[in-house]
Amino acid sequence: MLNKPGHNKKNELLAPAGGPEQLTAAVLCGADAVYFGAGNFNARRSAKNFDLDSLKEAVAFCHLHGTAVHLTVNTLVFDRELSAAMETVRAACDAGVDALIVQDLGLARLIAQAAPNMPIHASTQMSLHTLSGVQLLEKFGYTRAVLAREMNAEEIAQVCRGTTMEIEAFVHGALCMCLSGQCYLSAVAGERSGNRGLCAQPCRLPFYEKNPQRCGLSLKDMSLFSHIDQLRQAGVTSFKIEGRMKRPEYVAAAVTAGRAALAGKKPDLETLQAVFSRSGFTDGYFTGKLGPEMFGTRQKEDVTAASPALLKDLSRLYAKETGLVGIRAKLESRAGKPVLLALSDGDGNCVSVTGNVPEAAISKETTEEMVRQSLGKLGGTPYHLEQAEVCLEHGLAIPVSELNRLRRDAVEKLSAERSLPSAVPFCLPQEESLPLPNTAQTPQIWVRLQYPGQLSRDLWDQVQRIILPLDQLAVLPVTGQEEKLVAQLPAMLFDEQTIMQQLTLCHDKGVRRVVTGNLGGILMAQQLGMQVIGDFGLNVTNAQSLLRLKEMGLSAATLSIEMPLSDCIAMPPVLPRGIFAYGRLPLMTVRNCPAAAENSCRGCRGFRRMYDRRKAPFVVDCGGKKDGGKSCGAQIYNHLPLYLADRLRECRGLDFLTLYFTDESSAQAADILREYQRGGRRENMTRGLYYRHVK
């Protein structure tokens, strides 16, 4: 028995389902696949979602209608939560879901061991925006990559050309200001982590440089339905609609528009904008036209556009079965034998039922037209009749009531077959023996500088690693201490060619180590034989992730800045592991510089300040590039520095502490280094999330 949906994966329209109503809307309006969460390990925990008990029912409903199911298990997971997360995976395997969407490297590692036949899709939360990153995950068995929304048309095409993995791209829905997976604003502001499914969206509130009314971190929703053919020609496999927090009418409108676009028709964007938008839509990332026109907020007219009449019209689109699944029928009627009716679908399911022995016709024999008419009465079912083969002996009569009964019985039997779960084998791997941390160990001090002018003799002489941005290290004169220098790759790696050129310059002058917070940087550095240190952007929150990074060839890793310090200390040292121990936390990594959008790049030396509604100053750093963030993006830093110099005893057991300097002078950096060597105390600082409970 085969019951996997038979949709065309090369033209998959993938729709969100935040709850049962949204699921019905997506399926009955024609989505080829849906994605939703079950339990607590999905990136939209505030949506209604599904519990593990209702998961089988939801999957059965989807498979009955020919719709694939991608279950989101795409949050970061702490070590203490891995067992519960794997129970969610077990339930998904039992229910027969078609794929799992995963962010956490360690969880993906366990899934591959426990359920090797379960396809794993790399979540957009993994910040994939380079061919190198996709190729790395391809080596480790991922079957699909969900690309970052910041990519333009050529960047998407380049990834598609260089991989055999399926590529999924967003075509409609909300745009986060930050590269997905790299936003810590909600966690730091209110302990609600976007990486753990509880983003409070503080970015939609006012952030400004000059105008206090401006929402400088709020982008319009994206809409690429008019570019679907270009995406398809580029090699995109799946066209994804964002919106698991949206109402079912939104899902119906978006799926209907997507179906029209895929069929080469003009999508109804007016209705789609009326049901939800933020001052209209944008395609700025895809077309490469960044700037202020991409920003937008939810206005009164956006809300009132979704009138009761419009919502009622949209609800009719999924009010009844629409017969999207094509079936074939064969009926045979011969003298002295029971009538036989067989039904089959395009997914390999075939059922048959038998009726009574036909009688000799007295006044009117049963004709082929009568049989076809009866078999075509499929209203109220998921099916429509694609083909009918009728084999009748002359002179026989089958009552219409008998034909209708046979059809109903066969449809019921076929539906039962299609709804049966095709379970994926699942077996938890044997628990690995991991080393215990040495809680008496004093960590090394590493420093990360924003520019070479922050270097002083104290730093040269007294720290084990000096990390400098790649573009600046590439042009730094040879120092004779290149063994101590480490190249910091940008948080965004869109210009791979330039980055490889700069890496080569660093390698040629004797620099042998690279720090990267993006998976794409790992392969890029390894191509030159350089050692790779994982930065906090890799979001390591469990020992399994450290093991995966070790398997990827990394030599050390900085743990997630969303982990409690006690968990960092307790992390088994399968790799040397450290923490971000001082500095302004990078809260967002953005491609469309918000400062440039308000005030252009003229006169900008790389650092600008934005203010929140409480007038707290957040530093915006684009590295001085005059392109509004198009190349390697910009970072938005917290207004208070993280400080642990008075808590050094509590950091014992770690392998290294990194002091992250941004706008400090060389003298200030030297002072802070001394405080971390001898102990110190400061006002106007934060402990970050090391002593708080991140939800």
Whether residue 8 is predicted with pLDDT greater than 70 in this model: the reply is no
* Whole-structure pTM value: 0.95
At residue 78, φ and ψ (nearest 5 deg) are -80, 160
Is residue 195 situated within a structural domain? no
DSSP at 299 = -
Output the average pLDDT for the chain. 94
Give the DSSP H/E element, type plus range, for residue 105: helix 105-114
Last residue of a domain, one of 300, 318, 336: 318
Residue 112 included in any domain: yes
Give pLDDT tens digits for 254-300: 999 999 999 999 999 999 999 999 999 999 999 999 989 999 999 99
What token pair was written down for 484? 């101590």
Are residues 263 and 123 part of one domain?
yes
The verdict on 451 and 523 lying in the same domain is yes
Residue-wise pLDDT for 330-383, tens only, equals 999 999 999 999 999 999 999 999 999 999 998 899 999 999 999 999 999 999
Give the pLDDT confidence score for residue 628 in this predicted structure: 55
14 and 120 fall within a common domain: yes
Q: How far is CA 509 from CA 104, 207, 479, in A?
A: 36, 42, 9
- 314 belongs to a structural domain: yes
Q: Check residue 39 and give its pLDDT.
A: 80
Q: Tell whether 485 and 371 lie within a shared domain.
A: no
Identify the band that residue 40 occupies on the pLDDT scale cut at 50, 70 and 90: confident
- Band (pLDDT 50/70/90 cuts) for residue 600 is low
Q: Are strands 221-223 and 359-360 parallel, antiparallel or unpaired?
A: unpaired
pLDDT confidence of residue 252: 98
Q: What is the DSSP letter of 215?
A: B
pLDDT for residue 300 = 93
Residues in contact with 373: Cβ distance below 8 Å, sequence separation at least 6, in sequence order: none
- Residue 206 within any structural domain of the chain: no
Query: Which is more confident, 392 or 48?
Result: 392
Average pLDDT (125-150) is 98
Same-domain pairing of 257 and 358? no
* Domain end (from 318, 353, 379): 318
Q: How many domains does the chain have?
A: 3
Sheet holding 325-333, edge to edge: 350-354, 340-345, 325-333, 383-392
Across 191-232, the runs of DSSP E, i.e. the strands, are 207-208, 221-223
Inside any domain, residue 392: yes
Element containing residue 171 per DSSP (H, E): strand 166-173
Band the pLDDT of 49: cuts 50, 70, 90: confident
Give Cα 296 distance to the centre of its chain.
23
From residue 644, alpha-carbon distances to 441, 547, 648, 658, 694 in Å are 17, 27, 6, 11, 19
Model confidence at 627: pLDDT above 70 = no
Q: Is the domain of 299 the same as that of 342?
A: no
Domain range for residue 547?
Answer: 444-678
How far is Cα 259 from Cα 11, in angstroms, rounded to an integer? Answer: 10
* Contacts for 31 with CB less than 8 Å, ≥ 6 apart: 13, 14, 15, 67, 255, 258
Residue 393 and residue 526 share a domain: no
Query: In this structure, is residue 518 part of a structural domain?
Result: yes
pLDDT at residue 6 in the model: 46
Please answer whether residues 440 and 653 qualify as being in contact, where contact means their C-beta atoms are separated by less than 8 angstroms: yes
Please give the full DSSP string across 458-480, using - where no structure is assigned: HHHHH-SEEEEEHHHHTTSPP-S
Are 408 and 522 members of one domain?
no
pLDDT digits (tens, 9 = 90+) for 223-245: 999 999 999 999 999 999 999 99
Selection from 249, 183, 150 nearest residue 494 by Cα: 150
**Which pLDDT score, from 0 to 100, does residue 484 have?**
94
User: Residue 602 has what pLDDT?
Assistant: 65
The answer, yes or no, to whether residue 497 has pLDDT greater than 60, is yes
Q: Does residue 257 sit in the same domain as residue 392? A: no
Calculate what percentage of the chain has a pLDDT beyond 70.
95
CATH of the domain at 459: 3.20.20.70
Query: Cα(293)–Cα(212) distance, rounded to whole angstroms?
Result: 18
Position 632 scores a pLDDT of 66
The radius of gyration computed from the CA coordinates of the chain, to the nearest angstrom, equals 29
653 in the same domain as 634: yes
DSSP string of 513-537?
Answer: EEEESSHHHHHHHHTTT-EEEE-GG
pLDDT of residue 52 exceeding 90? no
Q: Are residues 565 and 657 in the same domain?
A: yes
For the stretch 73-103, pLDDT in tens is: 999 999 999 999 999 999 999 999 999 999 9
367 or 41, greater pLDDT: 367
Is residue 684 included in any domain, yes or no? no
Is 595 within the bounds of a domain? yes
Q: Do residues 125 and 193 lie in contact, with contact meaning Cβ atoms separated by under 8 Å? A: no
pLDDT surpassing 80 at residue 2: no
pLDDT in tens, 662-673: 999 999 999 999
* DSSP structural state of residue 220: P
Q: Is 501 in the same domain as 461? A: yes
For residue 616, which amino acid is it?
Answer: A
| Cα–Cα distance for residue pair 164/176, rounded to 1 Å | 28
Which uninterrupted H or E stretch holds 160?
Answer: helix 153-161
Alpha-carbon distance 676 to 174, whole Å?
42
